[in-house]
Amino acid sequence: MVSRTTDDYEKLALAGCETICEPAFWAGFDRASAQGFYDYFRQITEYEPKRAARFGIKHYTWLCINPKESEDLELADDVLALIPQFLGKPNVLGIGEIGLNKNSRNELQVLEKHIQIAADYDQLILVHTPHLEDKLKGTRLILDALKNHSKITPDRVIIDHVEEHTINLVLDQGFWAGITLYPESKCTPHRAIDMLEAHSGERIWMNSACDWGISDPMAVPKTMLEMKRRGWSPTAIQRVAYDNPVTFMKQSGKFHLD
């Protein structure tokens, strides 16, 4: 987790976390060149797995240029050209987190190019949906772009950061949905549990945001505790916190727990 200290790996290990997956995302600032992304891809495919392994945690990752840095098409093309050489790394599960940020034409163009790479190399896709007022529109545009590609099957795509107004759009069209736990935006533990209950935990995973903002890597274990307080059985908790993400990620052919 490039945006976190090593202490966070230790906390996760103490909470029983066995595996994490880290999407390629914004670095807290805009990178000036594709070389910066090359180094970043090495960091998340070579260095972070070693840092996680010190605490017995397996580390998987996803590759892309994130939507926040996709307005510059020339930079985006240079970064996209780097991705195939990293797809063979043992901890790379697919393309992500791709998507939209401000729902611009250039962001959409770069999203479509990522989708093409995923199709060409038979990769899973992890999608970031925009924040706040931009989420509904962005989710609709993303779903349209995915459905427009004949080689993309919804069961190999997870649409992340869903909320109450977007989750039905995602699940009704056969995609997986991700609920991101975040203190200020996105979703709280109780809202996540409400959505999971409303959809019987089907094709949904939840994740802790671990980014540059005020976020909490322990959000998933804390939500599991709230599930227990709300009368969830150990089997139901196991299903949404563990079995569901394992089922989705195993489709990559690389994900394993031992």
Partner 1 sequence: MNTWTPPVNVNLVDLGFMDSRSKLIDLAAFLDRVQRVGQEGDFRVAALKQAIQLLAGDQPERARNILLSFSDPSMEPIPKATTQGAVGAVPPALG
Q: Which residues lie closer than 8 Å to 73 by C-beta, 6 or more apart?
A: 106, 109, 110
- Residues in contact with partner 1, counted by CB under 8 A, come to a total of 40
* Residue 121: half-sphere exposure toward Cβ, Cα within 13 Å: 22
- Residue 201 found at the interface with partner 1 (CB under 8 A): yes
Identified binder of partner 1 from the candidate list 40, 175, 232, 255, rule CB under 8 A: 232
**Residue 216 binds partner 1, judged by CB under 8 A:** no
Q: Which stretches of 16-69 are DSSP H helices?
A: 34-42, 48-53
Nearer to partner 1, 52 or 171 (CB): 171
Determine whether 105 is exposed, middle or buried from the number of CB atoms within 10 Å of its CB (0-12, 13-18, 19+): exposed
Q: Is 90 or 214 the residue whose CB approaches partner 1 more closely?
A: 214
Beta bridge partners of 61: 22, 92
Q: Which of residues 92-151 bind partner 1 (CB under 8 A)?
A: 101-108, 130-137, 140-141
Q: Which is nearer to partner 1, 35 or 200 (CB)?
A: 200
Q: Cα(138)–Cα(120) distance, rounded to whole angstroms? A: 24
Q: In the complex, what is the shortest distance from the CB of residue 212 to partner 1, in angstroms, rounded to a whole number? A: 12
Q: Which of 191, 222, 250, 254 binds partner 1 (CB under 8 A)?
A: 191
Nearer to partner 1, 30 or 46 (CB): 30
Owner of token pair 């779903």: 143
Q: Measuring CA to CA, how many Å separate 172 from each of 29, 58, 219, 253?
A: 36, 32, 27, 26
Tell me whether residue 78 or residue 194 sits nearer to partner 1 (CB atom): 194
Which residues lie near partner 1 (CB under 8 A)?
A: 68, 71, 101-108, 130-137, 140-141, 163-165, 185, 190-191, 194, 197, 200-202, 227, 229-233, 235-236, 239
